[in-house]
Structure 1
Amino acid sequence: MTRRKGPYSREFKDEAVRMVLDGDRPVSHIARELGIHDTTLHNWVTAWRREHGSAAPGESSRTAGRSDREAELERENRKLREEVAFLKKAGRLLRGRESVTARYELIDAEKANHTVWDMCQWLAVSRSGFYEWRSRPASATAERRELLKAQIIDIFTGHLEAYGYRRVHAELCRRGVRVSPETVRSLMRGLGLVACRPARWRPVTTDADARHRIPDLVRRNFTADAPGTTFVGDVTYIPTWEGFLYLATVIDCCTKKVVGWAMADHFRTPLLEAAMDMAAVNVEITELAIFHSDRGSNYTSEAFGGKLAAMGIRQSVGRTGVCWDNAMAESFFSALKNEWLNRFTFTTRAKARRQVVRYIEGFYNRRRLHSGLGYQTPQEVEDQYLTRKATA
C-alpha cells in the first residue's frame, strides 16, 4: 500500500487516535489500514495522552460542566477499565508464562496502547528493569527466533499462504533448519499466520445413473506402487460472471500428481475424455490400470465407458452420495478452492482458467508438499520413480 503523505487534517488525526484508544488492535495494523507510518500514528497517540490522558478525542467535551470530583472519579473509573482490559488481554497472550522476560515482551509490544508506567505497575515489574532489558543486546535464542520468523514468513507467503504449521515445519526441515513443530506453531500464532480454511459448502455435480452397475475396485485405497496404475477423477465447477467453468481432473494415486485436466463451459462426456487424453500423454498407462470416480451420469455413460475400454483401463466407481469413496479427488478440489480460487471473483472464464492452471501446474504438482508423500512434491516422487526405473 502506498503511504499517505501529510499534512493531515485535525479530523483525520482525531479519528486515527480514536481507533487506537477505542480498539484492541496494534498501532501498526491501524496505521497500515489508514496508509500512514506507524511511528506517525504512535506520535499522535502519545501527544494526545500527554495532553488529555487516556480519553479518546471528543470525550473531554462530555465532561464539561462537571465538578472536579466527578471528573476525578470518571478518570479513575476509566483507568480501572483500562487496567481490567489490559490484564484480560495479558492473560490471553502470556498463556501462563509468568517469567519477567515474558512480561517485558508484552509491555514492549503494547507500549503504543498504554503507558509503560501503567503497564509496569499492572504487571508488578519495575520500569528501570524494563528499560534495562530493552537496552540489552539480543540473546542467541532471541536472534534465532527472529531468523526463524523471517524464514516462516518467507515460506508462508511463498506458498500461497496455504501452509499450516506442519507443512511450514516440513519445508524448514528441507532447508536444513532444525526446529520442533510446536516452536513453528507458536511462532506462526504470534505472527498471526493462519492458513486458508475449508469452505462450509461444496456444490454437487453428481447425478447418479442407476442403470449402470460398475464395481468399486479401489475401496478407498488411494495408493499405488507405480505411476500409471490407478487414477481417480472428478468434476467441479467455478463460478464466473460469464457462467460456470467446469473442471475435470485425473490424479495418479502413486504420485498424487494431477496428470490430466480439462476445462469447458459444460461437463458433458467430451470434457472427461479430454482430461483422460491429457493423462495418457503425461504418464505411461499400465495394462489393466484402474480409473475411479463417483457415480455421476457422465462417468457411468456408455460413451465414457467405451473411452476407458479403448484405452485398456478398467472402470471403478464409488457409491452414490458417499464422498469418502472418492476422497482423494474431493480433497484436491478442496485444496484448489480453499488455498487459491476462493480469493478471487472471476469476471470471465478465461481468467478463472488461468488461475486454475497456475495452481495445478505452477504450485500443486511442483511446489506443494503433500502429507501423503512424506512432505514431498508430486513431481519429486515421479522423478524418483523414473530414476529408479532407468537405473534398474
Structure 2
Amino acid sequence: MSTRQTRYDEDFKRTLVDLYHNGKTQSALCKEYGVSLTALSRWIKQYSTVETDDGQILTAKQISELQKRNAQLEEENMILKKANCHLHATLEQRLDAIHKLRSQHDVKTLCRVLHVNRSTYYKHFYSEPAPRTNINQQIKVDILQIYTDYDKSIGAYKIRRVLERDYGIAISVGRVYRLMATMDLPKMSTAKPKWKGHHNDNGPCINHLQQAFNQQAPNLVWASDFTYIKVNGKDNYLCVVLDLFSRKVIGWHVASRHDVNLTINTFNKAYENRGCPDYVLFHSDRGSEYTAFSFRQRLDKCNVIQSFSKKGYPYDNACCESFFKQMKREELNRHRYHSLKDLYLSCFEYIERYNSKRPHSSLGYLTPNEVEDLFWARQH
C-alpha cells in the first residue's frame, strides 16, 4: 500500500470538530475517519472559538493568524520608513533601497513591499548578461524583417531556411520557434475558418472525452456536475468533481445558489486537493455555470482543458449521473434537512464513506481510495 502521508484540508478538520460538538466521541471519530487522537485533539483546540470585545467569534487559529498579520504589517511599515521611497520612486531607487536593507530584512519581504520581482533584483546586482542574449536579440531583428517581408504568412520552418540561405545563420527550428514566441508577432490566418460544432457567447463547447470513462491513471480526466437538494422546502445545491480513474470525489461544495461561484469553488477544492496538476481534461454538461467566462478563465490559468457533453444528452456524463443517483438513494432521500449545515454534514459523512469504505462495482468492488493506493504503490 502507499506510504504517502494523508493531507487533510481545512473543511475536513472543521467538519470533524463540528461532528465532535454535535455529540460524536473523539474515539469514534478517530476510528471512523482514520485520524490520530492527537491530531483530532489539536484540531478541537485549534478551532475552539473566542469572543472578542467587539463581539466577533474567532478560532485560536484565526487569532494566531491575526497576530502574524499584525507583525507582518509592522515590518512592512518599518521597511517603507527605512527605504524612504516615495509613491513614484523609480525601479532603480527601489532596487537600491532593497540592496541597502538586505541585511536587516528578508530579501523576499523587501521585494514584496517595494513591488520588485526578486529575479529583477538578483539579475540587477548579481548576474551578467549571457553572450547568447545579444546574439538572440540580433536574430530577433532578422526574424522580424523576414516576417514583415513575407507579409506575416511564414512560420518557423521557413524562417529558419531563409535565415540560413540569406543571412548565413545556422539555427534550429526549435530556437526560431522559441524566439518568435517571445516576440508576440501579429498572426494572419491563411486558412478558411472551419465550423467546429456548437458555440456560445463564451467559446466552443467540444466533447473531447467521447464517453472514454475508463482512464489509466489519476488526474487525467475529471468530471463534474451538480444536483438539487431540498432544505426547508427550498432548493440547495451540491456540486462534485470526480476523478474518472478511481471514481473518487476529489472536490465538492454545497451552496444555496447555483451560479458560477459554486463551480469555481468546487474546482478550486479539487485542484488543491490533487496537488495542482497540469493538463487535466475537465468534463461537464453545458450549463451556464460551466460555460461562464470566469470559470473558463480559471481553468485556462490552471492549464486545464475543458470538455462538454452533447446538448441534452446526459449519457456523456454518466459517471456523475450515476454517483448522484446512488447518493440520493443511499443518503439524501433518507433525510430531511433544516439548514445548510445539516446538509453539509450529511454530504461530508457520505462522501468520506463513499471514498474510503463503499465498494464500487465498476472498480472490481474496491473503494476509490484502494484503487488509487494500489496505483501509487505500483509506481514505487
* Shorter-normalised TM range: 0.3 to 0.5
The TM-score, its normalising length taken from structure 1, stands at 0.45
The TM-score, its normalising length taken from structure 2, stands at 0.46
